[in-house]
A and B are shown apart, each in its own frame.
Chain A
Amino acid sequence: MYRKKAAIPKLLPKMATGIEGFDGLSRGGLPRHRTSLLIGGPGAGKTVFALQCLVNAVRRQRARGIFVAFEESPRQIIANGATFDWGLASLAEKELFFLDAHLSPTLVKAGDFDLIGMLAMLTAKKEEIGAQWIVFDGIDVLLTLLQDPVAEMREIYRIRDWLADNAFTAIITAKLENRASEAAHYGFLQFMVDCVVRFEQRQDDRVSAQSIQITKYRGSGHSAAQFPVSFGPSGIEVGAAEPAEIRRGASSDRITGGIERLDAMLGGGVFRGSSTLISGVPGTSKTTLAGKFAEAACRRGERVMFVSYDEAAEEIVRNLHSVGIQLKAHVKSGLLRMYSARTEGVSAEEHLIKLRSLIREHQPRCLVIDPLTAIAKAGSLGAARTVANRLINMVKDNGITLLMTALSETDDPRAEATDLQISTIADTWIHLSYLVRSGERNRALSIVKSRGTWHSNQVRELVLSKSGPTLTDVYTAGGEVLMGTLRWEKEAEESARKGRDRAQFEYKRRELQFAEAGTRAQIKALQLDLRRQRAELALYSGENEVRNVSSSERENELRRRRSANPADVSSRKSGNGAAK
């Protein structure tokens, strides 16, 4: 059978950059043997990005690289790179070559010049060390010096041809200050290269936020969105969305939150590897519940990390001690890692990086973040939202059971939902609130949602005592929930009423017994009476008979005694009729 041969798309060979997030959004890295352009304002991370590509290429692919520094001296660059865990200084001895192309400000320019000499020198160096990667950092500085658009274009072409001839995987960085005059030759630069990555830095509420975006990738698909960028101990990290497909197992193991009745309300505890959100206004015992969770995990012998924002770890340990939660021993044994940080002026991205490295370091099975909403304090809410999302995903991907608290400004649970929007991602959402009545403030706990499990719809009162937090039933009376003293009153009233009822019942019983006894006595009396009457009746009837008999006998006797004639005798013998 004849079949048309389908054209197989030729995949553009790419070189992984090893930069977290970037290889994902660029679907594999930068184009191999091609040139990529990084453009953006100063301080947006172009140099770090380029340098990190080189470092990773050296460390992971045993490649060699050349770094041509137009803007800063290599000494400065190496010093800056030393803030990352690259071991740059030692790499710079052999694997990486830095060319100081930092043009002295005292340099006099007298007429047109070109890069032929420089490229010749670099060719020699390439052959010497066998470099496959090259970075031209800050090419704008060089182009500015040329002061002639024609010359600029000529030199750009020269560089392009040279790169192609030498089969370099190249990165060119250029500062972009958004001036109209720059647009022309940057447009040309962009046209010349195969991949353009745009770096941006803006100020969000006193916090600078960096982002990158691939605006061009010849012959390759890529993610076109803007992604947040941050600087961690290993260099730049791109906050690329995790792969669209979520791949992780779902455990059906349940773990306790440390409070028996809460577990019962959740149908036996939270799922291992799930995320739980506890929201509430300040003072609703979010931290206490989080502490209980951490303590319970430590008791199971699991590694736990407790991250608290804007509250010192020592304070938390002390405060929780007062409600019977003992964390000190677990901190000492190393099972529990307490970490507290300030949030003022720290962007959400930075928090994420710190957390990521802490997780890597401590390898916890359970993680508490109290409160997660603090990461949105500085910087834009939008950025904090994506960070929260990524954080939860990262934690879950690592199979860590997460408990986070969220501070709500109002007592309305829906208010939280609009804030960081974590409630939609969380598997279980517990809301704590206050009920204020009769001069009293009481804590109420309810479960707003809990995925994949039965959960109670009941509101419970959270009672804190020296022995720890407990949940008690609340009274609902007349459609109102009663707590605290009102609950106590209600309880007392209830028991008094029960006592009264019991007494009343007893009284009634006795009364009835008494009445019964009375009736019985009456019955007995009546029966006795009856018997007496019967006896009387019997007596009466007997007397009457006796009387009848005697009267006739007496008549006869009388008759007999009155007359002595025989007729009388005969008539007496023949009975009554004979007496005529």
Chain B
Amino acid sequence: MSRPRVKSKARGAGVTTVVVLRLYIVGGAPNSVQALVNLEKICQEYLKDGYKLEVVDVLEHPRRAMDEGVLVTPSLAKLSPGPTANVVGNLSDKAKVLHALGLKGKGT
């Protein structure tokens, strides 16, 4: 079962570019669950609705995850806008996540 939960709520014109993210997780594994929670929190806080997030469960799509270069889980990929970035871990280190996604300073 695929569950690409795409949140796309780019409201109105002139809104800044949409950040496209993809999170690879493993079903109910603690780190994966935590990563999802942490990411949604960060997105809510810093991107509001200006982001698209796709969540891929590696257990269900191992071939795809492999093709997309996933190694460890959880793993977050920022696909656009450039530069792209990869973050691994349960995303509990908020500062690092923000830095990697280029979101530092925004919303503060």
Contact = CB atoms under 8 A, between A and B. Distances in A.
Residue from B74, B89, B94, B99 whose CB has the most chain A CB atoms within 10 Å: B89
Given A114-B73, A116-B73, A121-B66, A109 B26 contact: no
Contacts of B71: 101, 103, 117-118
A117 B58 contact: yes
B53 interface: no
A112 B91 CA distance: 8
A232 B99 CA distance: 49
Contact of A124 (B62, B69, B86, B91): B62
A518 to B, nearest CB: 127
Given A114-B29, A117-B58, A123-B62, A109 B88 contact: yes
Contact of A111 (B26, B35, B58, B63): B35
B69 A117 contact: no
What secondary structure prevails in chain A residues at the interface with B?
mixed
Contact of B86 (A108, A115, A116, A125): A108
Contacts, number: 102
A108 B88 contact: yes
Contacts of B100: 108, 110
A99 B96 CA distance: 27
A113 B62 contact: no
Contact of B66 (A99, A104, A107): A99
Interface string B11-51: 00000000000001110010110110010000000000000
Contacts of B26: 114, 116-117, 120
Residue picked from A99, A109, A116, A117, most chain B C-beta under 10 Å: A117
A116 B29 contact: yes
Given A106-B86, A108-B86, A124-B63, A113 B73 contact: yes
A100 B62 contact: no
Interface string B54-94: 00001100110110011111110000000001111111111
A108 B91 CA distance: 10
Interface residues of B, number: 36
A162 to B, nearest CB: 13
Contacts of B58: 116-117, 120-121
Given A116-B29, A117-B75, A118-B73, A109 B87 contact: yes
A117 B70 contact: yes
A569 B102 CA distance: 207
Contacts of B34: 111
B96 A120 contact: no
B interface secondary structure, majority: mixed
Contacts of A125: 62, 66
A109 B62 contact: no
B66 A110 contact: no
Contact of B96 (A100, A108, A114, A123): A108
A32 B79 CA distance: 43
A100 B24 CA distance: 17
Contacts of B92: 110-112
For chain A, the bracket of interface size reads: 20 to 34
A516 to B, nearest CB: 122
B89 to A, nearest CB: 3
A212 B96 CA distance: 42
Contact of A110 (B29, B32, B89): B89
Contacts of B69: 100
A51 B70 CA distance: 23
Interface in A94-142: 99-101, 103-104, 106-118, 120-121, 123-125, 142
Given A114-B29, A114-B31, A117-B73, A107 B62 contact: no
Contact of A117 (B38, B65, B90): B65
B65 A121 contact: yes
Contacts of A124: 62-63, 66
Given A120-B59, A124-B63, A111 B93 contact: yes
Interface of B: 24-26, 29, 31-32, 34-35, 38, 58-59, 62-63, 65-66, 69-75, 85-94, 96-97, 99-100
Interface of A: 99-101, 103-104, 106-118, 120-121, 123-125, 142
Given A112-B89, A112-B90, A113-B89, 20 more contacts: A106-B85, A108-B88, A108-B99, A110-B90, A110-B94, A111-B90, A113-B73, A113-B90, A115-B72, A116-B29, A116-B59, A116-B73, A117-B26, A117-B72, A117-B73, A117-B75, A120-B58, A120-B59, A120-B62, A124-B66
8 contacts: A101-B71, A103-B71, A107-B88, A110-B93, A112-B90, A117-B73, A120-B65, A123-B62
